[in-house]
Chain A
Amino acid sequence: MGSAVDKSKVPWWVSNLIVPLVNLILAFLVSGLFIFIAGENPIQAVKLILYGSFGYIEGIGYTLYYTTNFIFTGLAFAVAFHCRLFNIGGEGQAYIGGLGVFFVAVNFTFLPVPIVWLLAIVGAALFGGAWAFIPAYLQAKRGSHVVITTIMFNFIAASLMVFLLVDVIRDTNQMGPHTIAVAKELWFPTFKDFAQLFGIEIRYSPLNLSFLVAIAALFFVWFLIWKTKWGYEMRAVGHNTQAAIYAGISPYKNIIIAMLISGALAGMLSLNEILGVHHKIIAGFPAGYGFTGIAVALMGRNHPIGILPAAFLFGILYQGGSEVTFDMPNITRYMFVAVQGVIILFSGALENLFRPQIESFFVKRLNKEKMA
């Protein structure tokens, strides 16, 4: 109550397309200002970003490779959020998920390759889910807030993995903190390999089969949340726990389920990184994707249809951003972290800054049209 516009009159495309777009444009303007202050030409930077992410075929490959990671981590956050759980442990869940992939890839080599791949997906999901289980249990049974526990579990995961990568599963023929490589036939085919099937020769880019898994995950999450009893119950618990209890829906059970699925999705990031790119576990491979996934989900309004373009946008920023840092000496990698920050600020925290004005503008215009 008290808002100037009543929501029911705002067309869906205004609140779901125009408003995010305006926020995005504002974020870009502010980012442009940063670049200008740093002593570079913002227009030139935009050109470089676009060239970097779309200008050549490997660029597109890189953009979609990043997109893949953001789809997984964005979906992970969104699923938990529908049960009103703020899972910010995607980073740690992805990291531990890598163990599952690696375990499968090392131990099941006797099986046909596609079966091993399926098992690797299961492994990533199981290990990622397992890492989310403890915070989930603590939240459900003891009320320990999942924000606190998941962030602590990120640190525990990072330390645990360093221990394992140094002392337990390190490739002893190498000095670096990483494992041996998995068998070559288990590597996910890359974009390059696919192109070769059609007789097209392109240069290597990290885009691989995981992208299709990510697209499948988008469908899976949409179906789960809106078409199944499970999603229905999770949303019920998320919206109104009291009412859920009244209806005989167990909040305990649903908190655990939502977190397990969330952790499983985060864990799948390791498919892209391990089977797709590095072919081994290397220290710190989740590289912040888990955190950026939160922004992706918020920007995509926790809906798969929104998460896809949001993940793509962040893919462009990651890939185009690295292009800019090559060509513009004054712009460092950190500048693009700042740009991401600005986007998150405008589309997350300041999301409602211009919403009332924009909505009332359109409502008034539409009313006039109706009158005329």
Chain B
Amino acid sequence: MTSPILELSKINKSFGHVQANKDISLKINKGTIHGIIGENGAGKSTLMSIVFGLYQADSGTISISGNIIKLKSPRDSIVSGIGMVHQHFMLVENFTVLENIILGFEGELVFGKKLEQAKKNLKNLCETYKLNIDLDSTIADLSVGFRQRVEILKSLYRGAEVLILDEPTGVLTPQEVDELFKILRSLQQEGKTIVLITHKLNEIMDLTSEVSVMRQGEIVGHKKTESTNKEELAEMMVGRTVLLRINKTEAKKGDVVFRVNNLKVKDDLGVLRVKNVNIEIHEGEILGLAGVTGNGQTELLEALSGIRKVESGEIQLFNETISDQNNYLNPKALKERGLAHVPEDRQRMGLISDFKAYENLIFGYHHQEHFSKSSILKEKDILSHSHKAMEEYDVRPRSPNLITSNFSGGNQQKIILSRELNENPKILLVGQPTRGVDIGAIEFIHQRLIDMRNKGAAILLVSVELEEILSLSDRIAVMFDGKIVGEKVNQDITDRDIGLLMAGIV
């Protein structure tokens, strides 16, 4: 038997007191699609960052085709034939595809022959792997799916034999996911090796031939994909049996407490993004708002939560107009009226990554009596509240003094959720509650949202995860091009219907 193309042996890595990788040994065979699955914070991304030379392991060795190599920087990995497509793309937006790909590997001072050569090579690569990219288009003009392809092409051009993809489908529409999978399969057929990092069981089952499961920094098992199933993998990931379907009782609907009439909202560039939206939400129900990213959901949520000005139309809370084109209540005032908001983008909006966890646990509620008195923060009370909240929401590690960016995505989301649900809001606006969050935490977050509903809260759930919309919502509305293009009671709608509506086919 030939030696595996990539072999890790006894890799250890810790950050402070947190051991992110513990004695990890892993063999990846040439020409396979190898899945690495695990919850957020299980250490998958750390491990792959070590392989890509972004971090150095504290101990352990990495070998490529049987030869031990030292990876001190991404450049070393690229030279060794390892390519990585990150969750967040590393592209210069106002450069063309070609310029982005040769960036750092230009090879000559004044562009000429070599550029032409590069262009030719790239065209060949595009054809071989059916990437279908126009090399002269500007990145800013490309959709997310195409940007990802540019990243793949970049790695291939730099001679990648092993391609690592970190949560590649998180930002894609279902159709884009299909396209990506086609490309990955064709790469595999051409003899490339692919490492797919994900927390989505479907992707593992669809695509991979082998899978390694990580939990709390350790590899807990290797499986042939054909000889395992979703339930088994989920259990290995979480360390206990997981409910993949949520237990939900019939909604006990009350009065309409939140109403949006003919709402129009513009984005920062003055483009109308929300075009005449009408929404009603009753007490004790979850309205799911499905749609492909960028169809106005972000602007809608921001307007509803008092962050963005309303162009025309009105928003009513308990039959009182809180926003119209003339004035709007700010988030602070809305909180006082019982409206809480879990924003779509936790990094950009939901938290301050440089703050300590306890500072984020009171963020936006810091002026309330129990957290500050005559402008002085009540540190003791805040800390004891933080300990309690972290316990209740199982935030790990339970260190209120740790800087927030050191927590995994799922744990950051729990910090936000515990903060926003703490006051028992009557209206809850939730955007992408489980984006980049692991299975164990998803189950937990979903259960919390259902609990809130059962307590009588009116919830607007905006999500691009169809499954999430289907399993939580009592009613489902679909947003396309700034309009609500369809609204149904959950039981009366199928995935297919929603998919068509999401694509604007009414």
Given A9-B16, A227-B377, A227-B379: A243 and B351 within 8 A (CB)? yes
In A1-49, which residues have CB < 8 Å from any B CB?
Answer: 1-2, 4, 6, 8-9
Q: How many residues of A contact B (CB 8 A)?
A: 25
Q: Digit string of B345-358 for contact with A (CB within 8 Å is 1, else 0)?
A: 00011111111000
Q: How far apart are B352's CB and chain A's nearest CB, in angstroms?
A: 5
- Alpha-carbon distance between A236 and B350 when the two chains are bound, in angstroms: 12
* A6, A8, A236: the one within 8 Å of B355 (CB): A236
A229 near B350 (CB under 8 angstroms)? no
Q: How far apart are B421's CB and chain A's nearest CB, in angstroms?
A: 16
* A6, A230, A243, A367: the one within 8 Å of B349 (CB): A243
B366 near A232 (CB under 8 angstroms)? yes
A229 near B331 (CB under 8 angstroms)? no
B364 near A246 (CB under 8 angstroms)? yes
B25 at the A/B interface (Cβ < 8 Å)? no
Given A6-B15, A239-B355, A240-B352: A245 and B307 within 8 A (CB)? yes
Q: Digit string of B365-395 for contact with A (CB within 8 Å is 1, else 0)?
A: 0110000100111010000000000000000
- Alpha-carbon distance between A249 and B367 when the two chains are bound, in angstroms: 10
A243 near B366 (CB under 8 angstroms)? no
A contact residues around B351 at 8 Å (CB): 243
A248 near B376 (CB under 8 angstroms)? no
Interface pick from B54-62, B243-251, B257-265, B484-492: B54-62
B contact residues around A228 at 8 Å (CB): 372, 375-377
A159 at the A/B interface (Cβ < 8 Å)? no
Count CB-based A-B contacts (< 8 Å).
82
Given A228-B376, A232-B377, A236-B355: A243 and B348 within 8 A (CB)? yes
> At the interface, is chain A mostly helix, strand, loop or mixed?
helix
- Alpha-carbon distance between A4 and B72 when the two chains are bound, in angstroms: 8
B372 near A8 (CB under 8 angstroms)? no
Q: How far apart are A367's CB and chain B's nearest CB, in angstroms?
A: 7
* B348, B349, B352, B375: the one within 8 Å of A229 (CB): B375
B313 at the A/B interface (Cβ < 8 Å)? no
- Alpha-carbon distance between A266 and B242 when the two chains are bound, in angstroms: 60
B406 at the A/B interface (Cβ < 8 Å)? yes
Q: How far apart are A346's CB and chain B's nearest CB, in angstroms?
A: 25
B355 near A227 (CB under 8 angstroms)? no
B70 at the A/B interface (Cβ < 8 Å)? no
- Alpha-carbon distance between A9 and B55 when the two chains are bound, in angstroms: 13
B316 at the A/B interface (Cβ < 8 Å)? no
Q: How many residues of B contact A (CB 8 A)?
A: 42
Q: Which residue of B lies closest to A247 (CB)?
A: B364
A contact residues around B14 at 8 Å (CB): 9
B15 near A9 (CB under 8 angstroms)? yes
B74 at the A/B interface (Cβ < 8 Å)? yes
B contact residues around A232 at 8 Å (CB): 359, 366, 377
- Alpha-carbon distance between A239 and B307 when the two chains are bound, in angstroms: 18
A235 at the A/B interface (Cβ < 8 Å)? yes
In A196-244, which residues have CB < 8 Å from any B CB?
Answer: 227-230, 232-233, 235-236, 239-240, 242-243
A239 near B352 (CB under 8 angstroms)? yes
B341 at the A/B interface (Cβ < 8 Å)? yes
Q: How far apart are A234's CB and chain B's nearest CB, in angstroms?
A: 12
Indicate the member of A228, A229, A232, A248 with the most B CB atoms within 10 Å: A248
Indicate the member of B14, B330, B352 with the most A CB atoms within 10 Å: B352
B contact residues around A9 at 8 Å (CB): 14-16
Q: Which residue of A lies closest to B86 (CB)?
A: A1
B73 at the A/B interface (Cβ < 8 Å)? yes
B54 near A242 (CB under 8 angstroms)? no
- Alpha-carbon distance between A367 and B14 when the two chains are bound, in angstroms: 11
Given A9-B16, A228-B376: A245 and B331 within 8 A (CB)? yes
* B58, B363, B367: the one within 8 Å of A367 (CB): B58
A8 near B367 (CB under 8 angstroms)? no
Q: How far apart are B126's CB and chain A's nearest CB, in angstroms?
A: 28
Given A229-B367, A235-B355: A4 and B56 within 8 A (CB)? yes
Given A6-B15, A227-B377, A246-B305: A236 and B56 within 8 A (CB)? no
B348 near A227 (CB under 8 angstroms)? no
Given A246-B305, A248-B335, A248-B364: A2 and B349 within 8 A (CB)? no
Q: Which residue of A lies closest to B332 (CB)?
A: A248
B contact residues around A239 at 8 Å (CB): 352-355
B contact residues around A229 at 8 Å (CB): 366-367, 372, 375-377
Q: How far apart are B322's CB and chain A's nearest CB, in angstroms?
A: 14
In B4-43, which residues have CB < 8 Å from any A CB?
Answer: 14-16, 18
Q: How far apart are B313's CB and chain A's nearest CB, in angstroms?
A: 21
B contact residues around A240 at 8 Å (CB): 348-349, 352-354
Q: Which residue of A lies closest to B16 (CB)?
A: A8
B350 near A246 (CB under 8 angstroms)? yes
Given A4-B56, A243-B350: A248 and B16 within 8 A (CB)? no
- Alpha-carbon distance between A249 and B355 when the two chains are bound, in angstroms: 15
B400 at the A/B interface (Cβ < 8 Å)? no
Q: 10 shortest A-B CB distances, which residue pairs?
A: A248-B332, A247-B364, A248-B331, A8-B16, A8-B15, A246-B349, A229-B375, A239-B352, A229-B372, A240-B352
A–B Cβ pairs within 8 angstroms, 18 of them:
A2-B73, A4-B72, A9-B15, A9-B16, A227-B379, A232-B366, A239-B355, A240-B349, A243-B351, A245-B307, A246-B307, A246-B364, A247-B363, A248-B306, A248-B330, A248-B332, A249-B364, A250-B330
